[in-house]
């Protein structure tokens, strides 16, 4: 199944909902990923607009830096943190008011556990707060 989402209101991006058998090529810890100008999601998350927008944010980061952002994240943990903070802040903007605090805590935990940052939760939370203020 394919959905189309637009970034900057004019660039169409395909969002592929992977068949269950194809999700083995995706790391278990992720519900979705972006590669180039496509997004792929596990079927469980096909209707999670916040996650879709998170992945679209990574595509925007890459396009606005001529792919440099995606490359730089491989050696700069601070850059990787900033990329994820921006994407999770966008994702957080799709949370209901009653879920904001719970999702913020969850996303901070994801950043600490999934992205090999070697940073404490308070450091991640402080950086995340800066991005939340920009996005929300």
Residue 52 confidence class, pLDDT cut points 50, 70, 90: very high
Token pair, residue 107, equals: 């996303």
pLDDT of residue 25: 81
Supply the DSSP symbol for 92. H
- Model's pTM, two decimal places? 0.95
Residue 31 reports pLDDT greater than 90: yes
pLDDT at 33: 94
d(Cα 31, Cα 50) in Å, to the nearest integer?
11
Nearest-CA neighbor of 37 among 14, 69, 8? 14
pLDDT score recorded for residue 57: 98
The encoded tokens of residue 6 equal: 């637009």
Q: What is the mean pLDDT of the chain?
A: 95
Domains in the chain: boundaries:
2-69, 73-135
Residue 21 above 90 pLDDT?
no
């Amino acid at each position: 199944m394919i959905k189309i989402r637009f970034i900057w209101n004019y660039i169409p991006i395909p969002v592929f909902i992977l068949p269950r058998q194809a999700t083995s090529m995706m790391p278990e810890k992720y519900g979705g990923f972006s590669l180039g100008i496509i997004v792929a999601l596990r079927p469980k998350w096909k209707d999670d607009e916040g996650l879709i927008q998170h992945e679209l944010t990574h595509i925007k980061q890459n396009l606005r830096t001529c792919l440099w952002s995606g490359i730089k994240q491989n050696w700069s943990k601070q850059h990787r943190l900033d990329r994820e903070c921006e994407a999770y802040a966008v994702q957080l903007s799709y949370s209901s008011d009653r879920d904001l605090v719970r999702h913020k805590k969850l996303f901070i935990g994801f950043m600490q556990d999934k992205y090999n940052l070697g940073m404490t939760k308070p450091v991640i939370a402080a950086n995340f707060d800066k991005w939340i203020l920009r996005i929300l």
